[in-house]
Amino acid sequence: MVISARVHYACVAMLELAIQNEEGSPVAIREITDRHGVPGPFLVQILRSLRALGWVQSIRGSQGGYRLSVDPTTITLLDIAEAIGSQETGCRTEAKRTPIAAMLQEQWEDAAEASRRVLGQATLSGLVERAQHGDASMFYI
Amino acid sequence: MVISARVHYACVAMLELAIQNEEGSPVAIREITDRHGVPGPFLVQILRSLRALGWVQSIRGSQGGYRLSVDPTTITLLDIAEAIGSQETGCRTEAKRTPIAAMLQEQWEDAAEASRRVLGQATLSGLVERAQHGDASMFYI
DNA sequence: ATAAATGTGATCTCTTTAGTCAAGTATCTA
DNA sequence: TAGATACTTGACTAAAGAGATCACATTTAT
């Protein structure tokens, strides 16, 4: 479970959209890049992926932007990481599959599973709530 | 905690040395590459790192090879992964450090910690024992 | 001597990641 | 209807790291 900048930004964007979900108006890319310093054209790419997943909806034209189109209680950081991140190749090697190698693979898998379990419990809504309770400065709007 | 081929091979080598530790004679690189299909010159590099860590001792000349120079009960897969692998940069990004970003970083850290905990409990001796009990075919010599 | 091993440093290629750019399309508002 | 705002699309580049290789040097058992 490697967290690239791409995955991190995707999560930032999803959280930002989740926070502003109650508001009726969509959130412009510009607003996210200003607030979080994410490189604009890069964020565009990422939002495209999120839209392809059906997690986000885009509204074109003036006053346009993005809106969350899923229930934030159902999406976890794990979902985002697995959908946006690289496909967990898991160590491409030329070596033989010996018993030792197999045993090690099991360990790598156990370790990966452990971190998946952590991220799989962090829902967007959970994080939003935590942000709003824990620190008032997170509560814009 | 990303497991590269380099880390995987290092663990294979350490396990192989741990298994043959009772034997007096050192283990040649050739023997490891033959048995596990690890690319030879690559393994040389890796063993160099392991030697620099003081975990392995090299004997030059004919009949030479490598020998474990630490207690296999004290070295875990986590130790090897952290020593050999890349330094867990943790997402180099140009973005601002906003509350949302900070909250996410915490999650990434929690996830990484979870997998570290798994690997930190897998000692070389534990794995060797498991290999020898679980599957007779692992018990060469 | 010679064969069997490791020691060292440089190098090479491929993939991924991060980030950019330009030209186009849709929509609101005045 | 003009213009500003904002998303759409696809190609593109630069840098870094991973995986792997090579040539040549050195050491040691027999």
Q: What is the pLDDT of residues A61-82, one digit of tens each?
A: 999 999 999 999 999 999 999 9
Residue A68 phi/psi, 5-degree rounding, is -65, 135
Q: How far is CA A51 from CA A45, A54, A59, A61, B49, in A?
A: 10, 5, 11, 17, 45
Residue A87: which CATH number? Answer: 1.10.10.10
Range of the domain at A71: 5-138
User: Which residues of chain A have a CB within 8 Å of the CB of B110?
Assistant: 118
CB-CB neighbours of A97 under 10 Å: 11
Residue closest to A131 by CA, chosen among A5, A9, A2, A11: A11
Q: What is the pLDDT of residues B108-122, one digit of tens each?
A: 999 999 999 999 999
Q: What is the pLDDT of residues B5-64, one digit of tens each?
A: 999 999 999 999 999 987 779 999 999 999 999 999 999 999 999 999 999 999 999 999
Number of domains into which chain B is organized: 1
Q: Is A70 on the interface with B (CB under 8 A)?
A: no
User: What is residue A85's predicted lDDT score, i.e. its pLDDT?
Assistant: 85
User: What is residue B115's predicted lDDT score, i.e. its pLDDT?
Assistant: 95
Confidence of residue B141 (pLDDT cuts 50, 70, 90): very low
Query: Which positions of strand C lie within 7 Å of protein CB atoms?
Result: 3-10, 16-22, 25-29
- Rounded Cα distance between B140 and B22, Å, is 12
CB-CB neighbours of B34 under 10 Å: 12
Q: Tokens standing for A93?
A: 């090697």
Interface test with B, best of A115, A119, A133, A141 (most B CBs within 10 A): A115
* Amino acid whose CA is nearest the C1' of D21: B41
Are the beta carbons of B74 and B123 closer than 8 angstroms?
yes
Q: Report whether pLDDT(A141) > 50.
A: no
- Rounded Cα distance between B71 and B126, Å, is 12
Residue holding tokens 């997998």? B115
Using the CB atom, is residue B89 less than 7 Å from strand C?
no
Q: Is B138 on the interface with A (CB under 8 A)?
A: yes
